[in-house]
Homo-oligomer: A and B are copies of this chain.
């Protein structure tokens, strides 16, 4: 837990940022790195948290990549399958995606109903409670997702609008 979650040591001991990690995993599993996948990896790394497919598509095109939206979906599906990206449902229309750190970087989301911001957060105690709850139910969790809908610190607990 002392190492930043976005970095890992590869077999030579060099630090790898997430894009490198993702590319390495692709290669290790026999997948090629075309323009679309490379662009999606870059876009995912730069967006940070909970990006929609359309946002990633737009970001990639803004950086000069010429890729189709379908390829974005295909790349995201593959990255998720390989465990380097994650699909997140925030209760809005459409799914969102984000990079998963090689060390199991893990966070959840708060969606502010007032300003629409999606904020990530980590909470060790919450993770512990989640694990305990799953055990109590005799469930073996492979993944879990927590989403808060409410009002963020900036918008305060005040009334609507």
A residues engaging B (CB < 8 A)?
87, 89-91, 110, 112-113, 119, 121, 123, 125-126, 128-130, 132-134, 136-153, 156-157
- Docked pose: A143 CA to B87 CA in angstroms: 21
Task: Provide a sorted-by-A list of 7 A–B residue pairs whose CB atoms are within 8 angstroms.
Answer: A87-B91, A110-B141, A121-B137, A137-B153, A139-B152, A140-B150, A144-B148
Given A112-B139, A139-B152, A140-B156, 5 more contacts at CB 8 Å? A89-B91, A130-B148, A144-B148, A144-B149, A145-B147
**List of B residues within 8 angstroms of A156 by Cβ:** 140
Smallest CB–CB gap between A145 and chain B, Å? Answer: 5
- Output the nearest chain B residue to A138 by Cβ-Cβ distance: B153
Partner of A110, one of B123, B125, B139: B139
**List of B residues within 8 angstroms of A143 by Cβ:** 148-150
**List of B residues within 8 angstroms of A113 by Cβ:** 142
